[in-house]
Amino acid sequence: MNNKKWLILAWATSFCLILPALFLLAQSFAPDTELFDHLWETVLPDYIVNTLQLVSLVLIFSALFAIPVAWLVAMCDFPGKRYFQWLLMLPLAMPAYVVAYVYTDLFDFAGPIQRVLRALFQWDVAVGQHWFFEIRNVPGAAVMLALVLYPYLYLIARTAFLEQGAHLLQVSRSLGQSPWQSFKRVAVPLCRPAIVVGLVFIGAEALGDFATVHYFAVNTLTTAVYDSWLGHGSLSAAAKISILMLIGVMAILAVERWQRGRQRYYHKYTGQTALFHLSGWQAKGASAYCALLVFAGFILPALILLSYTLKSMSFNTDSQLGVVLLQTAWLAILAAVITTALAIIFSFTNRISRQASAALPSKLSSMSYMMPSTVLAIAVLIPMTLFEITLNDLWVWLGFDAPGLFLSGTVFALVFAFVVRFQAVANGTIESSFLAVSPSLDMAAKSMGKSNQQLLFSIHIPLIRKSISTAVLLVFIECMKELPAALLLRPFNFDTLATYVYQYVSDEQLEQAAFAAILIVLAGLYPVIRLTQTGERTT
């Protein structure tokens, strides 16, 4: 296949992936200013403030969690470092709403923590007198989200630190800067592009989160989207608010780009990483901080889930659960494989094409990850059902039986939504490893008469093997946990693990579904560990 055909393929697939966003945009222009005005005059400003607060706090907490441990694990030697390297990734396997539930239970008025404290300090329990901190508020929700989202930033930052090479820090120290000063003035600023990527991803996740904020009674713009669409019945108002959110994200990105200016960050330096050997209280502090994150983000919720399972002993749902697990897993694998394959197509096309516009399919397809899941679900339904209905009408007109809703009524809608949502993850992973493959290999292959296809399959793909498995693993984990889109797009008698669990969470009865929640965690666990292993081998 020559270059042009690859380009067409890339554009065609990219176009399919951005259709939902386009339709959403179109929908937002549909007239419904009344509702929007009403919202604007009443609660929208508060929602915006809440959203800004929430997202900022999530970003700050995530950075506070992820960056120090990423640096510690990349650059220092301290007790347990070998294990913490991958343990710190574990919270990725925990769905945020499960963690939220677990912690509210723990810190609630009747929860163990407050009870113990009350007993210790003999606090007054009279009605209206309790003043212990409320966890169900914006900072509380932010901590929950940060606890399960920080691993993304951790992974990216760790790689970035490792790639900085030893010389920069050695020079910094030789110029009189202590390790802490070197970290502050050199290591962290250099990490900036990576940090930005990680934070934008985390911010988008926080922005789109519905289950956790709902559970924490925090009202954000996502609340407004839900309300407008499903409460007031106005899709166009919901679309408008969604576009608002997207613009906000893009504006922040633009500001960051502009502020970065001409600074270049990426330069692969040589030199093995010389580890700082920590000792004494520094070493203990490092281990303690890592341990705290792993405990709070994974071990504690997992233990509590286990205790729920043992308490309720609801193993009677086993057979059904098995089916649900398999369904979810195979959907997730499918979406993971498709996104990765598409990512390869996009990156390869960009590489072999001489046009600057060849980079666009990839960039455009990545944009949808900024859309909150619910919005995405709506956005997916619009073009899909339009297409189906047109096709059905055509079939009937031609005299055949209508095939029915062969897209939105089957798992196709789900897979499509997953692919649209997580394409960015696959793109980012594959793109960066393609960049590391030297262009001279391409030229050598071409000079030996290899076609594009041969170049891709016999040279590129073997070289980027590791990032292919990374991409597949990442998307797999995401799909296993994904909730809002799954709720809205799944077909009959079809539950994903997440929707199954959510049934019970939303009724404050996670205990019944604790076992299923554990399955979600387990299903995500193996990929997470594989991820850290491949990450280690590449660095």
Kindly state whether residue 285 participates in binding another protein, applying the rule CB under 8 A: no
Q: How far is the CB of 114 from another protein (least distance, A)?
A: 9
Q: How far is the CB of 448 from another protein (least distance, A)?
A: 21
Regarding 110 and contact with another protein (CB under 8 A), the answer is yes
Task: Confirm or reject binding of residue 422 to another protein (CB under 8 A).
Answer: no
405 binds another protein (CB under 8 A): yes
Residue 263 touches another protein, criterion: CB under 8 A: yes
Q: Which is nearer to another protein, 189 or 322 (CB)?
A: 189
Q: Which of residues 297-336 bind another protein (CB under 8 A)?
A: 334
Bridge partners for 77 per DSSP: 277
Task: Give dist(CA 517, CA 302) in Å, integer.
Answer: 9
Q: Which 203-242 residues touch another protein, going by CB under 8 A?
A: 216-217, 219, 226-227, 229-233, 235
Closest CA to 373 of 176, 95, 133: 95
Supply 356's token pair.
């600057």
Binds another protein by CB under 8 A, chosen from 119, 120, 122, 176 = 176
Among residues 25, 252, 360, 402, which is the contact residue for another protein, using CB under 8 A? 402
Closest CA to 98 of 301, 299, 374, 295: 301
* Near another protein by CB under 8 A: residue from 17, 338, 445, 514: 338
Map the footprint of another protein across residues 71-90, applying CB under 8 A: none
C-alpha pair distances (Å), 477 with each of 167, 404, 429 = 36, 32, 15
By 3-state DSSP, what share of the chain in percent is helix, strand and coil, each rounded to 5? 80, 0, 20
Residues 535, 163 contacting (CB under 8 angstroms): no
Q: Please enumerate in sequence order all residues whose Cβ is within 8 A of that of 181, keeping only pairs 6 or more positions apart, or say none.
A: 172
Residue type for 307, please? S
The stretch near another protein (CB under 8 A) out of 65-73, 148-156, 338-346, 515-523 is: 338-346
Residues 33-72 that bind another protein (CB under 8 A): 38-39, 42-43, 46, 50
Q: Where are the beta strands (DSSP E) in 71-223?
A: 76-77
Contact predicate 367/21, CB 8 Å: yes
Contact with another protein (CB under 8 A): which of 337, 359, 364, 459?
337
* Residue list 504-533, contact with another protein (CB under 8 A): 506-508, 511
Specify the stretch interacting with another protein by CB under 8 A; choose among 167-175, 201-209, 516-524, 527-535: 167-175
Segment interacting with another protein, rule: CB under 8 A, options 18-26, 82-90, 198-206, 483-491: 483-491
Q: Which C-beta is closer to another protein: that of 217 or that of 250?
A: 217
Is 447:335 a contact under the CB 8 Å cutoff? no
Q: Count the neighbouring beta carbons within 10 Å of the beta carbon of residue 24.
A: 25
